[in-house]
Structure 1
Amino acid sequence: METDMTVTDQSTTPIADGVSLTDGAASKVKALLDGEGRDDLALRIAVQPGGCSGLRYQLYFDERNLDGDIVAEFSGVNVVTDRMSAPYLMGATIDFVDTIEKQGFTIDNPNATGSCACGDSFH
């Protein structure tokens, strides 16, 4: 299933059937891809067992197309979720923060009932 979706502002409502990417996150991903000189990569978000809370997020660039992948486009950036991770990530929003205290991608996941102090894992 392939869906074209566009984020129109920073305060976008998470898409019920998948992951949303804010404009800030899409801009950062696009800049990273441009820096690599690659336009064939997608941002893959997955959930794997591990971390101090039971499940941990994986966020990385991937050129693979796996059977059952859910693909969405945000401002020219493809975001891919595998079918096993999708139920854990429905409605999640990926943002990029750049403040004096913190820089990096954040995931706001309404499915997480708790998380670790570092925010890298959840349950």
Structure 2
Amino acid sequence: MTTSAQTGTEAVAETTKAATTIILTDVAAEKVKNLLEQEGRDDLRLRVAVQPGGCSGLRYQLFFDERSLDGDIVDDFGGVQVVVDRMSAPYLTGATVDYADRIDAQGFTIDNPNAGGSCACGDSFH
């Protein structure tokens, strides 16, 4: 029974982690590392949040943060910590943060399977 109980607990923990994880691509992680080096601070983490606003109702926010909030979900991507608050987590489950540096696009992008649609500016979603 002990083995069965441990397996059940591990499965729950794994499901919880998978349900609340945001993905940071290697390119995006490298860009975040470079930006943190420019800031000269090693105490900052990339916080990804969802806030009301924008044309479609919700807007992404990406910023460096030193705070730890109750219920924060923290994932590590090659030394880059990404933090999602508990209210934003359901909106960001399975979302991928990438970085583009092309002539037609530059900056961080979020590919979110939970978004029902987005506005033309690409800054907000519903």
- Give the TM-score range, shorter chain: 0.7 to 0.9
Segments of structure 2 that go 5 or more residues without pairing to the other structure are 1-17
Q: Could you state the TM-score of these two structures normalised by the residue count of structure 2? A: 0.85
Alignment RMSD:
0.8
The number of residue pairs the alignment matches comes to: 109
Write the distance in 2 (CA, Å) between the matches of 1:95 and 1:75: 14
Where has structure 1 moved over 2 Å in runs of 4 or more?
Answer: none
- Residue 40 of structure 1, aligned match among 35, 39, 43: 43
Write the distance in 2 (CA, Å) between the matches of 1:110 and 1:102: 20
Structure (1 or 2) with the larger CA radius of gyration: 2
1:48-80 CA-to-partner distances (Å, cap 9, x unmatched) read 000000000000000000000000000110000
Tell me what 2:34 maps to: 31
1:69 aligns with 2:69: no
The structural deviation recorded for 1:16 is 4.2
Tell me what 2:90 maps to: 87
Q: How does 1:84-123 map to 2 (within 5 A)?
A: 84-123=87-126
More helix per residue: 2
